[in-house]
Amino acid sequence: MKNLKPILRSLGIGLAVIAVIIIYAFGFQVTKVNLDETRNPRRQQQLTRILRALAKPDLLTYEKEEVIVTQQFMVPCPDGGFTTPDVDRSGPYITIEPACADPRSMVTVKGFNFQPNSSGPIAFIPTSQVNLGVGDFEADANGEFTTEIRIPARPDSAVQTIRTITRTNVGAPKISKTAVDTWDKIVETVFLALLATTLGTLFAIPLSFIAAKNLMKDVKSPLISIALNLLLIPLGIFVGIQLSNYGSQIADLISRSVVGNIAGLVIAPAIAVPLVRWALPQAELTRPSPKTRILRTLGLIVSVLIGILGLQFLAKIVIQLGDFLAPKLGSFTFLGTFISDMGDILGMSIVVITAALAAGIFSSIGDRTGKLITSHVNKPAAKALSMLLSMLAGALLAVLVMQSLNWFYEFDNLAVTIYWPAVIGGAIGLVTSVRMAPKDDLPVGIVLYYIARTVFNALRSIEALVWVIVFVVWVGIGPFAGVLALSLHTIAALAKLYSEQVESILPGPMEAVTATGANRLQSIVYAVVPQIIPPYISFTMYRWDINVRMSTIIGFAGGGGIGFLLYQNINLLNYRGASLQMLAIALVVASMDYLSSRLREKAI
């Protein structure tokens, strides 16, 4: 009995070893491990060729001089035999033995007085003058070679020719065409990655706060506020878009003349700035009365409207300025185009800004009203109101969701897109409000947190390579598609990394700033932001580095940048070109690494 245990143990170990062997054997089979191929001389020769080409990046070229050496030859031997005519033996020359031969027979070609170590092709030139390659030669250190070639099946009564060509470098080395193209594309790549990183960072920073649990877990709202928000935010977006369209039309009318435009540009801020200063006094030493608050809010809304109008003027004048400058700037045309693009971007963002502002204003009104109702209205009334509002909100939400699904799947059936969702959404809202006490706070923050996390994870798991295909369809092949694809991936990846940094901040400063009476936004700016600046900088730099490397891949799918060139060269078997491009990528990545470590040192 005593001896059984060690035996069982060795048995177990034995079984485990067998299992491991089986697992690896299966792995070998699945991945088609083929050692014969690795030893195959033909394959080894190809490998050598590629590796040697890769080791010689196509950076420099020389002016080439072609040296052509010919010798007469007859196939087959004529009746009287054939003797090669004498050639000039002061320069390079070749001899052929025998001087004439049958088709498909072997002859020996010898070369003399060639450039030491030079090499080149040997060709048979029939009377048709079509070049038939028959082999290669490599001269030794004395400039001589001996090689055997097979005569092609081209019998002819006329004299034919055998020819060698050598190319030799002359003069000083020059930057190759590949190097120039690579430089252009690597610059494009760096800027593509820069734009994608910038765009991604701009969006990722605010989103990362939503995806941070420590900031979101205390965000709570009563059901009435949530329902009002759900109802008012879509309305706010709609109103915002309408307003910015009206603004754009008004600005269009006025800015027909440059004078009107400039006047608008001056007058708008002249009204808006003092109004903002009045509506937002610097200090709130006493609590403002409800009347002042309403007046101030109105003043703020008016000044925001005027401000938006002012931005419209600005966008228009910037576009005009850029268009005016572009043709006059010569080789700096791109600056003019950039200015007018900036105006265009501003114009496009105004819609988004206005929609966001209006949604924000509406949402804060909804929030305030909801909290006011919850704390001032008696329980039954609050319950009734919360039932009504959440029913409406549920119905609206469901209809909006189905409307967007309809856009994808084109049901085009009112029952599916409006009636049923309204009924079901309303019912869900009603049930929620019936089961909830109206004055209880719901953890909206945590819900938003999970939604944000899920969206980021989904976005992140779709590679930029896939996104680029979508964007190439939208904006065409080229670096712009690459910028958009990489930006999207950057937003998701950075928002996640950033939010983890926000979650790992010291809670103490946040607590202290909150204790002073600061609101949520103020505590974030004063206690959170200073803590996350160093990691944000280093993650952004790291992301730029990743984007440079990724942009080599998205070039494969038409996303512009150096990847496009690399892909082409690999397909054309131009390994020396590909090698140069890989070298360029490595250099850029290495210098970015150096740069980012220097920046990090500065920022900490």
Q: Alpha-carbon distance 116 to 579, whole Å?
A: 28
DSSP string covering 137-187, please?
EE--TTS-EEEEEEPPS---SS-EEEEEEEEEEEEEEEE-HHHHHHHHHHH
Please, what is the minimum distance in Å from the beta carbon of residue 223 to other proteins? Answer: 16
Give min distance, CB of 521 to other proteins, in A: 6
Q: Which amino acid is located at 154 in the chain?
A: R
CB 235 within 8 A of CB 365: no
Q: How far apart are alpha carbons 575 and 315 in whole angstroms?
A: 48
Q: Of 380 and 508, which has the nearer Cβ to other proteins?
A: 508
Tell me whether residue 64 or residue 379 sits nearer to other proteins (CB atom). Answer: 379
353 near 243, Cβ under 8 Å? no
Closer by beta carbon to other proteins, 373 or else 488: 373
- Looking at the Cβ atoms of 240 and 535, the one nearer to other proteins is 535
Based on CB atoms, which residue is closest to other proteins, 373 or 392? 373
Which residues are bridge partners to 357 per DSSP?
Answer: none
Q: Is 515 in the site for other proteins (CB under 8 A)?
A: yes
Of 67 and 518, CB closest to other proteins: 518
Asked if 142 is part of the footprint of other proteins (rule: CB under 8 A), the reply reads no
- What DSSP character marks residue 114? P
Site for other proteins in 371-410 (CB under 8 A): 371, 375
Rounded CA Rg of the chain: 38
Which is nearer to other proteins, 254 or 304 (by Cβ)? 304
As measured in angstroms, the least distance from the Cβ of 363 to other proteins is 15
Place of tokens 């599916």: 416
Backbone torsions φ then ψ of 126, nearest 5 degrees: -75, 180
Residue from 428, 513, 570, 599 that binds other proteins (CB under 8 A)?
513
Supply the minimum distance, in Å, between the C-beta of residue 525 and other proteins.
5
Q: State the binding string over 267-296 for other proteins (x if CB under 8 A, else -).
A: -------------xxxxxx-x---------
* Binding of other proteins by 517 (CB under 8 A): yes
In which residue are the tokens 């003349």 written? 257
Interface of this chain with other proteins, residues 484 to 503, rule: CB under 8 A: none
Which span sits near other proteins by CB under 8 A: 31-39, 95-103, 493-501, 504-512? 504-512
Answer yes or no whether residue 511 interacts with other proteins by CB under 8 A.
yes
Q: Which of residues 520-559 bind other proteins (CB under 8 A)?
A: 521-523, 525-527, 530-531, 533-534
For residues 538 and 596, the answer to whether their CB atoms sit within 8 Å is yes
Q: Which DSSP helix (H) or strand (E) runs through 271?
A: helix 258-279
Bond from prior residue into 98 cis (ω within 30 degrees of 0): yes
Cis peptide, bond prior to residue 76, ω within 30 of zero: yes
Q: List the end-to-end C-alpha distance of the chain, in Å, as a whole number.
A: 67
Site string for other proteins, 344-373 (x = CB under 8 A): ---------------------------x--
Alpha carbons within 13 angstroms on the beta-carbon side of residue 27 total: 6
514 scored as a contact of other proteins (CB under 8 A): yes
Number of residues that bind other proteins (CB under 8 A): 31
Q: For other proteins, give the closer residue by CB, 284 or 410.
A: 284
Q: CB of residue 507 vs other proteins: minimum separation in angstroms? A: 9
Minimum distance of other proteins from residue 374's CB (angstroms) = 9
Q: Which residue's CB is nearer to other proteins, number 41 or number 507?
A: 507
Cis amide linkage into residue 173, ω under 30° from 0: no
Q: Which is nearer to other proteins, 135 or 509 (CB)?
A: 509
SS3 state at 107? strand
For the beta sheet containing 60-73, the strands, ordered from the edge strand earlier in sequence to the opposite edge, are 60-73, 160-175, 119-125, 132-138
Q: Which is nearer to other proteins, 279 or 315 (CB)?
A: 279
Part of the chain binding other proteins (CB under 8 A), chosen from 239-247, 331-339, 411-419, 512-520? 512-520
Distance CA 579, CA 597 (A): 27
Residues that bind other proteins (CB under 8 A): 280-285, 287, 371, 375, 506, 508-509, 511-519, 521-523, 525-527, 530-531, 533-534
